[in-house]
Structure 1
Amino acid sequence: MGILDFLLGLLIGLGLLCWQQIRQRQRLTRLLRELRAADVETSPFSATSQLALTVAHQQRIQQQLAAEVSTYRSILEAAPVGYLHLDDENRLVWCNPEARSLLDLTPAPPNQPENPRLLLELVRSYELDDLVEQARNSKTLCQKDWVFYPVSPDVLQLTRQRSYVLRGYAVPLPKQHVGVFLESRQESVQLRQKLDRWASDVAHELKTPLTSIRLIAETLQTRLDPALRGWVNRLIGESIRLSDLVQDLLDLALIDRESSQCLHLRQVNLPDLVQAAWLNLEPLSRKKQVQLSYQGPESLPVQIDEARIYRVLMNLLDNSIKYSPPWETVTVRISTGLAEESTHSSPETGVWLEVFDAGTGFAEQDLPHVFERFYRADPARSRLPPNCSASSEASNSSHSNSSHSSAAEPYHRTSSGLGLAIVRQIVEAHQGIVLASNHPETGGAWLRIWLPQNGLEPEPHKQPPDGLEIKLYEEPRADVGSANLLE
């Protein structure tokens, strides 16, 4: 009886041992498959040996990855741009020294691990936090410029700290992490401000001598022989053109300085403003027999700075008349709709203002630069076609800068390159967008402007806009060319 019990216990023990070994082998096989070991079933090695080889292989891979991470971190530490690594809860995991310098972060004590903390606890910049959220939600690269104001706990440092412009690029990473690259734009902003200040100072200095030259020329105009008056007319025309250029420089400097903080917004009926601008350009359009075609509602009130949008309309319509062939039509179209996603992130409903003509339009290589200051499409930067000789330039210079030629001229041929720059500055001050292209039907220049409407209700508006002087057509004087009057 004792022998039978012994044998029975031995069999049960052997069965349990075999069952445990089978389960262990299954677990090892499953673990090897999870570790992606090759040929688990057909390998001549045991499961334990395979596991040891796989673990050794994974350790080598981990060491290689750690070396790569160390290399990349060394590169980021020496990079001239800042880098921040944020986790899914917007906690700062790691940043390089340049980011600490840009954001005025205190480095962690040596030999002490740095615990992740919320970004807003370390950096009081809601623009940076918003950029991170945009990249995390959109899963795409996001960019933003903003003015950063450092905050120091030391009261003595408050008067020494200065704000500066930052540009951030947020990159979405796995597991809802986000990487942010930062660069300082302060030097670029300062250089641009110095350039604008220099141009403004020069323009101020040129106003007085140009006015004196024009007054002297107009005084001599009636005292010279008729054969010599043509030269005086040319002198007056060139002084007017230079005066307009100086005024454009001053306007650009004023818009840059005031930006959107000094806009005098009021409710304006946009179709009436278009009509007032066209009426002011009637002498120029009548000389070329160019007609206006308006497409849109009769009443559409928007919240804008009336004087500045009027300047935008004058520049656009003046360009369209200049570069349209005679007997053609300039079309102005007004509609409501959303801004294009590629150019404006706000879903706000606004007003689209389109102006296009039937001229030669823009060259494809010039489209990215048409809103730059002093840019002209002519490669030689001349105001006459390249096939014109010097003699023809001397004899026809009084007409080369006029606003009305006998045929359609290439766009920007006779411009100073400031008109569209002023348009862009005014539109951006209104937080709008401006686009330039060639119209698919007419082939002429096609300028599109989107302005926020702010959901205003229409109201009666029958009188011309306040503060706008509508100049009616006047017959030119006998001693001054009509081209100079229309300058």
Structure 2
Amino acid sequence: MNSFRMRLTLILIAMIGLAVLAAGLFMGKTYRDNHLDALRDNMTREMKIILDQMEWRTGDPDSLYMYYTGKAQRLKTITDTRITFIRSDGVVLGDSDHDPKTMENHLTRGEVVEAKKSGVGWTTRHSETVNENLLYVAMLVNPNNPEHSDIIRMALSLQKVDESIQRVWAALIVGLLILFVAAALISFRVAQGLTRPLEQITRVSKRIKNLDYRARVEVTRHDEIGELGQAINAMADSLQEQMSRIHTNESQLASVLDNMINGVVSINSSGKILLLNRRAEEFLGFSAKELVGHHFASAKQQYELSQIIQEALERREHLRDEITFYFPEERLLDLNLVPIFDEDEDNKFEGVLLVLQDVTAIRRLERMRSEFVANVSHELKTPVTAVKGFAETLMGGAVNDPETARSFLQIIYDESDRLNRLIGDILELSKIESRRVPLQYSPVELSSFMEKTMELMSAEAMRKHIRLSTKADPGVYVEVDEDRLRQIMMNLLANGINYTSDGGSVSITVEPVLGPGQTLEDNYEHIRIHISDTGMGIPKKDLPRIFERFYRVDKARSRSSGGTGLGLSIVKHLVELHKGTITVDSQVGIGSTFTIELPVIQ
């Protein structure tokens, strides 16, 4: 903008300079012409006075040379001009500055020719006789007879005129210089007044171009430039409002996309990926920076995925499929490809929207439900079959044998009891999994709680000569549902007793989880309970599934012990309801240790 201001200033100066120069030239020429006109008029008057006072003689030229030359010389001293007397045929009769006898015929001289025509003639030219520029004015002696009239001529040196013109030019040049300086200052101020608001408008426009929509033009004028500034401010207001709305919509859309549980991938009609949300990044194992702007085939993922995307782009209709992905982790994904059409452009095909839904957990739950139904059916069928078989035997005549009848009835009773426990555990697990079990939290002192729990299990342990022990520091409290915690402990103790050989031991250890440098007097946030036994142990391959429903390590022994296969699953769900964790560590032939960690405050 500074260069524009300079150019504008120079243009204004040049225009003013040219105008002043033209005016100066016009003034100089006018002054010279007026000065020459004044000299001509003055010389014409002087020649009239001379003719009026002078006797004009005619006759032989030789007798007239001396007369007219003397007159010319005498008149020159008076008028300070060169005087020449010319006969009607152009012969010079006398001259104040030169011998007339040696002078050329003057009939063709411009001033003489003009005087013959109009009575008075004038011209300016360089005189070879005196070697300087002269103003010649010629006048007829007898205007009534132009053809035969003699001529008087006066010649004035133009040196004085030129000196006067030079003085005028000198003054004019000084004036021009002063005017140029003044014009330069005025032009600069005018250019600055014009360009300064334009500079501000340009700066604001550049800021708006660089997405700074808060920039505004300070409008102080009410002319066209002021209207331009107001228009730019109005445009900036509109842009700021629109961009604010766009940013809000983009933020809302980005928030929705980033927090969706489904992956979303937008692909244009040429196969280039336009959008990729955070969930899709997790599913595909690629970041948005790696894929956005690239062809979908650049994602080295499942071949089936590229095939179905290509098919959707070609068929331009809704497609759905399920594909197992093995990278970055194994997942079963439900794929929905929806074609996108632009209704504003005659349903022009824009591409497809790929929606990825992780159905791994859903399918696993469906499989678990199927397995659960199958297991329940199997578990229910076993006691029902036993009851039915022995009842049929009794009805077939075995009831007449008291001892056999008693034995069969005992089996029927045991199987009915087992069936009752199984149904009870199934209902209990169903309520726990659906979180329809309200927990009544209260502080529980664990030392006395563990002692009471051991007493409840002591009779069963004594039958197998199993030693029960507990280790818990007094004063250790935890906020739990006491009945549910007792259910957890009794399930784990019952398992330990059932799977421990006669003469073994089952122990409970309670300890607070202390941080570095903490003591029992400090506030601790978690407690840890270890239930250990010296039983048969659990094989390593079975440990990951030990908390599954109906999963048994030793199926024969579980059935003989009357277990339902649901106890550990119930325990795990109850612990998780208390926001705790349960883990197991076991070695075959040595024993198992179940570790429960619970928060002190719920």
Short-chain TM bin: 0.3 to 0.5
Larger radius of gyration: 2
Which gives a bigger RCO, structure 1 or 2 (Cα 8 Å, sep 6+)? 1
From the two aligned structures, give the one with the greater helix fraction: 2
TM-score w.r.t. length of structure 2: 0.36
TM-score w.r.t. length of structure 1: 0.44
